[in-house]
Every structure is written in structure tokens, then in C-alpha cells.
């Protein structure tokens, strides 16, 4: 990550915690009825979509692939690399979109434009993107970087006081 975009906090998420949050999301989604299928936003939405699909017994999973990064630098342009063809019919009506996180809302806006009638669910939501999703589990501040288990390795960490420039 070459630019921090105002990130001052880190929120590490373990596999167990992610699994627990995905199951909590499935519980919330259960009352919405049956879905034709799930659209996972790749790559971050793949693992949550698999867990939610299992819990809701949804067998059809499509993917939509978007990129908002040029290397390690985040851009405000969304490149849609692959669409979820089956969900595009009826503008996504009856479909569930799953992603790990809604951050600035750039990706969510692009996906919403393609599938305006789908139900959009994320595990984590930041204030700038929160209005774009229908269901989420945990809100984190805009200046927080979520460290997902697939993006991390076990290494020594600095005490918080050192991270803030103390000592």
C-alpha cells in the first residue's frame, strides 16, 4: 500500500472472526426470503459469499470482477473486468450481492448501477459507503484499514504507542 489515504488505524480480522461475522450476516439475510443466487464481488467477496451461500443453502454463485487499483494505488475509476451475466437479467432482482467491505463506495456504486434491484450485503461498512448497502454487520471508521486473514502473515507487531509516534 503506497498511499495511506488517511488510514490511521488497523483492524485485524482472524479467520474465526470473519466466519462468525459471515454467519451473523446470513442470519440477518434469512428474513429476506430466498435468493435466486449470490453475486460475489471478487476478490474480497469470495470467501464471505461461500460462507453465506452455505448458510442460506444457495447453490448458484456468480461473480462480478471489479478493480479500483492501479498497482497499489487506489483510483476513483472502476474497471469491470467480468460481469455476472445471469444476475444482469431483471437488473439483479432476487439476487444477493456479497462483498467483504464497502469503503468509499466507488465499487458499490458501479455494481449497484449494473444490478440496481439486487440486495447488497457486506460484512464491514465504512461511513462513506454505508448508504449503498442494504445489510452489513460491523461498521468501522473511515480511517481504518481492515486486515483480512487472506492479506496478512504472522509477524511481530509494534505497540500502539509506537505506531502513534510515542517513544
Q: Are 102 and 131 in contact (CB under 8 A)?
A: no
Name, in order, each residue with C-beta under 8 angstroms of 48's C-beta and a sequence gap of 6 or more.
18, 22, 25, 40, 98, 99, 100, 122, 123
Active site residue 90: no
Report how far Cα 51 is from the mean position of its chain's Cα atoms: 13
Active site residue 103: yes
Per annotation, catalytic residue among 103, 134, 143, 151: 103
Alpha helix positions (H), the chain: 15-30, 46-56, 85-88, 106-114, 160-163
Per annotation, catalytic residue among 31, 70, 90, 100: 100
Q: Collapsing DSSP states into helix, strand and coil, what is residue 7?
A: coil
- Edge-first strand listing for the sheet containing 61-70: 73-82, 61-70, 37-42, 95-102, 119-125, 135-139
Per annotation, catalytic residue among 31, 99, 134, 143: 99
What are the residue numbers of the active site?
A: 99-100, 103
Amino acid at each position: 500500500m503506497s498511499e495511506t489515504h488517511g488510514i490511521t488505524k488497523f483492524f485485524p480480522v482472524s479467520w474465526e472472526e470473519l466466519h462468525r461475522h459471515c454467519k451473523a450476516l446470513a442470519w440477518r439475510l434469512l428474513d429476506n426470503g430466498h435468493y435466486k443466487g449470490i453475486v460475489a464481488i471478487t476478490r474480497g467477496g469470495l470467501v464471505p459469499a461461500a460462507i453465506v451461500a452455505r448458510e442460506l443453502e444457495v447453490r448458484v454463485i456468480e461473480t462480478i470482477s471489479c478493480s479500483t487499483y492501479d498497482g497499489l494505488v487506489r483510483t476513483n475509476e472502476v474497471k469491470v473486468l467480468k460481469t455476472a451475466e445471469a444476475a444482469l437479467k431483471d437488473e439483479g432482482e432476487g439476487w444477493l450481492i456479497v462483498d467483504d467491505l464497502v469503503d468509499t463506495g466507488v465499487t458499490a456504486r458501479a455494481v449497484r448501477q449494473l444490478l440496481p434491484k439486487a440486495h447488497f450485503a457486506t460484512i464491514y461498512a465504512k461511513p462513506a459507503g454505508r448508504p449503498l448497502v442494504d445489510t452489513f454487520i460491523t461498521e468501522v471508521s473511515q480511517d481504518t484499514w481492515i486486515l483480512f486473514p487472506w492479506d496478512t502473515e504472522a509477524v511481530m507487531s509494534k505497540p500502539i504507542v509506537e505506531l502513534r509516534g510515542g517513544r
